[in-house]
Amino acid sequence: MVTINYIAKYYIFPLGKAIAKLLKNTPATPNSVTLFRALMGLSAAVLLYQNGFIYRLIFAAAVIMFYAIDVTDGILAGLKNMRTKFGEWIDGVCDKIVMDIWVLNIAIANYLQTKEIIFIIAASVYFLGKHLYIFASLRSDICFQNHTEDKLKKQLKQNLFSRLLLFFVEWDIQIHFLVIASLINMNYLFLFFYAAYFNVIWVSYIAYYFLKYLKEEHNEISRK
């Protein structure tokens, strides 16, 4: 599904484009920018263990810059005519790894501060749900990509319930949710919300295709 940038189009994309233009006539390559972005994002996780608004502010700024540079490497690849399949792949991998590292460190930092095991449990549920969602999504695309009348794809575009259900899957929303939760010193809200949300999503995928299968079987029997 194509990412919808509800918020990023107003300031993340202009910032990313501006950085790309500055790097156009330098030796920087899109992959080196992606590597820098990954290292910056991973380094920012250290800030999650610090107390005080200034550290939360710096972390939030790092998350925003991580997002902006995510735009930069893609635009730079176009400006330098250096688009590659590997570059697209490593860009997506970078996003997922860094976000997972942030979530893991949010859980550990909150556990160390409170000694409440619920944060570790929430992280486990988060990772289980997220990767089951990714698996269910990928498998549905692989198995049903040849179906010319895939109702799920139509629902994603037309059905209000589907739009609302998948709203928080958007990378744009995840990033800004994390920024806001961090600034108000409640980053655990991100952890708890997505621990529940991703599990709802993967169950919804399976339920949809199971019901679709039952309907197709019923129609086949009816025709006979």
- Residue 217 structure tokens: 């079987």
Nearest alpha carbon to residue 47 among 106, 126, 2: 106
Cα–Cα distance between 8 and 172 in angstroms, integer? Answer: 6
pLDDT, mean of residues 198-222: 81
- Rounded CA separation 176/198 (Å): 17
Query: Looking at the predicted structure, is the pLDDT value of residue 212 above 70?
Result: yes
Query: Which is more confidently placed, 118 or 158?
Result: 118
Which of 64-73, 77-86, 101-110, 190-199 shows the lowest per-residue confidence on average (mean pLDDT)? 77-86
Instruction: Answer yes or no: is pLDDT of 138 > 80.
Output: no
Q: What is the pLDDT of residues 36-46, one digit of tens each?
A: 999 999 999 99
**Nearest residue to 20 (alpha-carbon basis) of 62, 82, 63:** 82
Query: What domains can you pick out in the chain, each with its CATH number?
Result: 8-223 (1.20.120.1760)
Average pLDDT of the segment spanning 139-147: 57
Query: Residue 175 in contact with residue 67, Cβ under 8 Å?
Result: yes
CA distance 33 to 69: 7
Greater confidence (6 vs 215) lies with 6
pLDDT of 164 reads: 76
Handedness of CA 12, 123, 201, 196 (dihedral sign): negative
Please indicate whether residue 90 or residue 219 has the higher confidence score (pLDDT).
90
3-state secondary structure the chain: CCCCCCCHHHHHHHHHHHHHHHHCCCCCCHHHHHHHHHHHHHHHHHHHHCCCHHHHHHHHHHHHHHHHHHHHHHHHHHHCCCCCHHHHHHHHHHHHHHHHHHHHHHHHHHHHHHCCCHHHHHHHHHHHHHHHHHHHHHHHHHHHCCCCCCHHHHHHHHCHHHHHHHHHHCHHHHHHHHHHHHHCCCCHHHHHHHHHHHHHHHHHHHHHHHHHHHHHHHHHHHHC
pLDDT of residue 149: 42
Q: Is the pLDDT at 157 greater than 80, yes or no?
A: no
Residue among 89, 43, 90 at smallest CA distance from 66: 43
